[in-house]
Every structure is written in structure tokens, then in C-alpha cells.
Structure 1
Amino acid sequence: MRAHLQRVPDPRSRRGRWYPVLVFLLLICACAVVSGARTITEITEWGQRASNGVLEELGIRRHLPGRRRAPSKATLTRLLAALDGDALDAAIGAYLAQDHHTDAATTGSAPPPAIAVDGKALTGSAHRGRRHRHLLSAVTHRPTVTLAQREVGAKTNETAASRPLLEPLDLTGTVVTFDALHSVKDQVRWLVQEKKAHYIAVIKGNQPTASSQLKALPWEQVPVAHTASGTGHGRRESRSVKTMAIAANLGGIAFPQARLALRVHRRRQEPGKRQTRETVYAVTSLDTHQASPSDLGGYVRGHWAIENASHHVRDVVFAEDASTVHTGSAPRVMAALRNLAIGRLRLLGTDNIAKTTRAIRDAPEHALWIWGITDSPLLPGT
């Protein structure tokens, strides 16, 4: 982790630095956020609670002999506002990617790995007439790890930002899922021809032409190719998948190299509530010999799951929507630190992020082990 964070340029003036090395401050932030810190104030408090031993492991003793005081809120506030958000996101993405293999090679009948492109608003970052910040992310389906993130300012700019977002990633053999609103013909063609990836584009009502074309297909004549059901979070859900070759039926579709059309019908029943039904249409460059109906339904479901496994966690566990941080790069930097914490914990096999962050918060030494700074937790019996 330290090696990746060293790539982030230091925005501070060389004069008057209390903490000469930027990485120490970034590690303080990473340790605090993985311990559940939601705000810059809570990051500061984590540093103040940390023992001298923890601070020494992070590097403060080496650079500040005799001065082991953790950084103040003012120091961290100025730093996070001035950081290069692109550089930090690139460093975090590279760190998480090294443990999450998105290589095209697959073993046996395992489906290719998938990455979802999705946007999220930082609603609390609006300030004095300035619109809230908006971030576009590339997130792996399973486990949920954010490999890239860009600030796009407003949701209408997501289409222009999707290509720069994916450009640095090795997408060979990967399935990229996205809302079709994010795409234009040239970008989809670039994704398939130059990045050697496949795609699944989910068609919504805000793409009326493509939506009408797909709905008009003779789905009643097509048998259900796959069904699945399950129970979780107190609700029961069932899904059915139909697929149809579109070369002959929909030759004018606006998606290059599209091979199949998908129809996914979902029913959800929650206790004490009426059953809800939803039908989703999609197109994909995958052909029948490259992915089964079960795989295709799993990709669509995996794209939906980003809301629960990433965005929902950022809002509920880390109170992202409630954050009023708005200065400079600070809103994006805080979101990047949350992505880092969630991604690392997911890669370690954590299902309950809230429970795990509470456990780490109660023993700051554990955060050092999370980031590989120590070989094992420092507390006896852990």
C-alpha cells in the first residue's frame, strides 16, 4: 500500500511542513476510514487515539524524532482539498487491482470476469449554488472492488467520461456492463475492437428508440432459457431470462457487434408488501457459445448489485450522502478512501462491512494489518 501511495504527488509547499512525508498522512487516512471514520474530524480523532506504537509503524518516528503527535484537523482538511484526485484514484485502483485478477483467461466453464460502469452523486457536496459532485466508477462484480474513478461534475457528462475511465484498465476478455445511456457507437466499438472486451448494455426508458426496438421483439414466442430464485434480506426474489439472436431481427440496433438481446423479468416479494415486478432489456456482444443464459442473467444481476454492495455501503456505513465536505478535491478524495476500504475488506472476504469496521475501530492496531504494514495484528490473541 505504501508503495502505491508514494505515486501521489505532494501538493503542499516545501516550507513549513510539519509532516515531511505525504505517505504518512495518507496512511493515517486509510487506517481511519477502514476503521469506520466518516468525516475528517473522525479521521483526526483516530490519529489522536492511535498509540505511539501505531504511529511509529506508520513512519512518524523516523521522520519526526521526538514528535509523535498525530495531524490536526486543519492539516488534514487542507491536504485533502489540495490532493490530485486523479493520481489518488489511480494509485488506489492499482493497489486493489493487484489482488483482483481481471485477466481474460478463465478456467474450465467459469464465465469471464465483469466490471460495471456506474455513477454516483455526492449529494452533500453541493455548496452555495454549486452543484453536487458526481463520480463515475468502474467496479468489479464479484467481489465488489472499485478499480477506477473519475469526477464528471454532472450526470449528463457520464458518456464523455466513460472512455477515459476505462482507458487505463486491461479489459481483455472482460465483460463490461453499463447503462446504455453511458455509451455512444464509437465508444462501444472502441471497447470491443481496441480493448478486446465484451459488453452488456442495459436499456432503460431514457433510450426510447432502443427500448422500443427490444420490447417489440416477439418475446412471447421465445421460451424461458433460465430461471433462478432465492431469499435474502427478508425478501424472496425470482428471475427469468430469455435470449434472442438479433442479427436478423434487429439489424439497425445502435450497438456495434451486438449478438444477443436479453429480457430479464424479476419478481420480488417483501413481507407485508405487494409483489413487485420489473422487466429489464439488454443487448450484448457475447454470443450463445461464449456465455450461457445463466451467465448473462448473472451479469445483469451483478450490475444491479453495485448499488447495494458499493453505493449503499458508502451511504449507510460511511454516511457519504450526509457528508457536507465540499472544498477542492476533498469530496472525491473521501469517496476514494471509502472505495479503498470497501475494496480491501471485500478482497479479504468480508461480507458485513459495518461489523468489520467496528471491530477494527475498537483496536487501531488492526488497521495496520489490513494494509499489510504489519504481518499480524499487534494485539495479543488477535
Structure 2
Amino acid sequence: MQIEIFSKVKDPRDLGKVKHELEDVLRMALIGVLCDCEDCDDISDMVTDREEEFKAAGLLKLSNGVPCGDTILRVVESVNPAQLRASLDCCRGHIIESLCGNQVIIDGKKLRGENPRSPGCHGLYILNAWVSETEICVAEKPVDGKTNELTVLPSVLSSLWLTGALVSVDAMGTHRNIAEQIMLQGGDYLMALKDNQPILKSLTESIFSRTTPLSVYTTEEKGHGRVEKRTCSIMDTTLLEQEGMYEKWPGLKRIIKMERERTENGARSRETIYYLSSVEKDEASYYAMRIRAHWGIENKLHWHLDVTFREDMCRVRAKNGAVNFSAMRKYALEMLKKQNDKLSLKRRRKKCMWSTEYLYKVFKDS
């Protein structure tokens, strides 16, 4: 089944000295991620032990034997992340061709493993764009340690076809220029409003304190010894626009108040967060659903990268290694989720390691 996965990646090596095919080396790295290998030496050792199995299944060619761990690492570190990303996007096919009707969630994740050769390095920060409905990561970009997410966010948005999509961001992305860019690209936005917009937040709090909302929606969940109550209220922007200090926000149609009250073991906590949205709907339930969906990126992507794939344990930091392995983990997660069996994702990784037949099926179904 030697369909090229990494067809858009240009070989950065001196072709006169190349012993192992680029597709084979990168495919080995992806197999290692699927098979719960801890590092590139593990990958090389595993493939060496099962070389004939992998060749017979068509997973690898290995025309000149199995590359060592250092070779695999050097190749992954040296290939262009944008080209690697483009190759994996081709494999995702029609899933990311149109985001119309979907919620695109933007959030960052830090890879906390430290490189012992780089004192003071506390991990790479990557900004991810994740689709709630398909659970697919459709864009990712590293954030330079000397800057912040806001400087990278415009380029992440520019890489996506946002017509008809709802883009949700936390407070770091709540800026007029970001709202304007999303609208210009044909999308809508849902933005958390916190202390980085103090005047607008104060006005919003004041309006909700003295005015009856257009709509209110309340849910209550019980389980594991705790009770959580969520109340979502919405307003239009009429009163906001009457305030002299308010500078009109691009496309703004609704302001939203989300109150969370949690009781656990007799202790009660409360939290109130405000949101801005360009979507003009009169049902608070719509916004409550979208706000809740925003946190799916933490539970269904970031949690699995940390726990299922132990991303924070990875010590690869040189050149493009961390970014490229992160992209492979996200693609491997998508591959494993497609398996229609009763195994957990962790056990599916283990089974990929134990069973060439199962590993072949994971590739075949992707």
C-alpha cells in the first residue's frame, strides 16, 4: 500500500549521499508515533525487528535496510514543516476543503519538555486551529519565544478558507483587527472578553447588570460528586452603541454572559465570562453550545497529545523536529480515532506496536 503520504515534502538532503528514501524515513517516524515508540532509536529498533513484516505488508520499502535512530531524527528535523503539513492535508482530503458550517477553535499548546543541550528552554508553543465537528487540526504554527500568539494568529487564519465558519478564540485573540480579518474572510467570530479589553468589558458588565437579556439558557450537570450549573444570557448591541466611550467593534451583533456555578464536596465556586460574537441569533442556547464546544480542543486534542502521546516527555527541540513530530502526532491521533473498535486510543497505539495487521488497517482506513 505504498501510497505516498509525504509527497509534497522536498528532500533537504544531499541527494548524492542519500541511502534511504525520504518517504520511507518519514513513514517510519509516523509508524513510530503510532506504535508508542519513545524516541527515534526505539523506532529504528522496532522496524529492524519487524523489517520483513513491514515490507511484506507494503508499509515500508527499506530498499537499503533500516536507517538508524540518528538518521531518522536528522531527517525529521530538517524537512520543511509547511511542506510536511501540506502533505498530511492532502491525506485528509475533502475533510478540510470547506469549513462552512463548522466551528474552528483557535488555541495554543506548549510542549513542555526541555532540551538538555539548551539551558533555559522550557518548550515550544504551537498555535492550533481545530475543527469541533470533525476533530481535525486544520492548521498549526509555532509561536516564537520572543513574541505571543497574537502575532501568529493572523497567518493561521489566512491559511484557512473561513467562508461560513465560526471562529472561536480565547481572550488573547480578542482584538478588532482579528475580528475584522475573520469577517473579511467570510467567517463569523466568538471571542472571550477579558481584561485585555477593559473598557469594553466594563461596559458589557454594566449593561448586563441593569438590563433584561434577550434570551437566557440554563443547563445543570451532575456527576462524580459535583454539580455544575451554566447560565448563558445574550444581548444585542443597541445599548452598547449608545455609550460614548464605545468604539464600534467590526461586525459585532451579540454580547454574551456565561455564568458557571460549581459545587463539589460542599465547596461552591463561581465564574463569569463575557463574549463577543458576530452571529446574530436570538437563542442563548446557540451560544451556550458554541462556548462549550470551544473547550473540546483541550479535552479531545491537547489532553490526548499530553496523556495518550506523552508529548511533554519528548525532548526533540533542534531545528524543525518538535514542530514536525507534533504534526505527526495530530495526524496519528486522527488515524487512530477512525478505528471502529472498543479499544481506548492508548490501547490502539499498543496494538499498532504488537500487530502489523492492525497497523496496516490503521493506514488503510486513513
TM-score, scaled to structure 1: 0.83
Q: Distance in 2 between matches of 1:12 and 1:203?
A: 47
Measured against aligned partners, the alpha-carbon deviations of 1:139-185 in whole angstroms (never above 9, x if no partner) come to: 11134221111112238431121121122222110100002322532
Matched, 1:5 2:6: yes
Deviation at 1:191, TM superposition (A): 1.2
How much does 1:339 deviate? 0.9
1:264 paired with 2:258, answer: yes
Number of residue pairs matched by the alignment: 358
- The whole-number CA distance in structure 2 between the counterparts of 1:125 and 1:366 is 33
| 8 Å contact kept, 1:54–1:365 | no
- Aligned residue number for residue 90 of structure 1: 86
1:267 Cα deviation after fit: 2.8
Two-structure CA RMSD over aligned residues (Å): 2.8
Tell me, yes or no, if structure 1 residue 355 matches structure 2 residue 351.
Answer: no
The equivalent of 1:115 in structure 2 is 104
Q: Secondary structure, in 3 states, of the residue corresponding to 2:17?
A: coil
Unaligned runs of 5+ in 1: 105-111, 375-382
Give the aligned partner of residue 202 of structure 1: 192
Partner of 2:357: 365
Q: Partner of 2:52 in structure 1?
A: 52
Instruction: For residue 350 of structure 2, give the secondary structure of its aligned residue in structure 1.
Output: helix
Whether the aligned pair in 2 keeps the contact of 1:118 and 1:179 (CA below 8 Å) is: yes
Deviation (angstroms), 1:103: 4.0
Q: Which has the higher contact order (CA 8 A, sep 6+)?
A: 1
Q: 1:327 to 1:213 in 2, by over 3 A?
A: same
> 2 CA distance for matches of 1:236 and 1:144?
27
Q: Which amino acid aligns with 2:80?
A: D
Whether the 8 Å CA contact 1:149–1:165 is kept in 2: the answer is yes
Is the 2:126–2:141 Cα contact (8 Å) retained in structure 1? yes
**Which is worse superposed, 173-182 or 155-164?**
155-164
- Give 1:108's aligned residue: none
- Aligned pairs for 1:118-137 (under 5 A) are 118-125=107-114, 127-130=118-121, 132-137=123-128
Q: 1:187 to 1:259 in 2, by over 3 A?
A: same
What CA distance in whole angstroms lies between the structure 2 residues aligned with 1:164 and 1:322?
29
Q: Give how far 1:254 is off.
A: 6.1
Taking a change above 3 Å as real, the CA distance of residues 355 and 257 of structure 1, as seen in their structure-2 partners, is same
**Residues 347/204 of structure 1: CA separation in 2 closer, same or farther (3 Å cut):** farther
- Distance, in Å, in 2 between the alignment partners of 1:132 and 1:237 is 34
SS at match of 2:30: helix
Q: Is the 8 A contact 1:27 1:58 kept in 2?
A: no
Given the alignment, which residue of 267, 276, 281 partners 1:274? 267
Match of 1:337 in 2: 328
Q: Distance in 1 between matches of 2:173 and 2:142?
A: 14
Matched, 1:288 2:313: no
Indicate how the Cα distance of structure 1 residues 75 and 141 shifts in structure 2: closer, same or farther if over 3 A, else same.
Answer: same
Which of 167, 171, 174 is the aligned partner of 1:176? Answer: 167
Larger mean CA deviation between 347-356 and 88-97 belongs to 347-356
Residues 250/12 of structure 1: CA separation in 2 closer, same or farther (3 Å cut): same
Verify the 8 A CA contact 2:26 2:72 in the aligned structure 1.
Answer: no
Bigger Cα displacement from structure 2, 142-151 vs 279-288: 142-151
Residue 130 of structure 1, CA deviation: 4.5
Matches of 2:353 and 2:219 in 1, distance apart?
39
Distance in 2 separating the partners of 1:352 and 1:269? 30
| TM-score using structure 2 length | 0.87
Once the two structures are superposed, the pairs formed by residues 57-76 of structure 1 within 5 Å of their partners are 57-58=57-58, 60-61=60-61, 64=63, 67=64, 69-76=65-72
Among 314, 321, 333, which residue is 2:305 paired with?
314
Shift of residue 247, structure 1, vs aligned partner: 3.6
Secondary structure of residue in 1 paired with 2:95:
coil
Q: Distance in 1 between matches of 2:15 and 2:106?
A: 38
Please tell me whether the aligned partners of residues 219 and 231 of structure 2 are also in contact (alpha carbons under 8 angstroms): yes
Aligned to 2:35: 35
| Alpha-carbon contact 1:136-1:151 (below 8 Å) kept | yes
Paired-residue identity, %:
22
Match of 1:238, SS? Answer: strand
**8 Å contact kept, 1:92–1:147:** no
How far apart, CA to CA, are the structure 1 residues paired with 2:240 and 2:41?
58
Q: CA–CA distance in 2 between the matches of 1:243 and 1:133?
A: 37
CA contact (8 A) 1:133 1:152 kept: yes
Q: In 1, distance between residues paired with 2:238 and 2:252?
A: 8
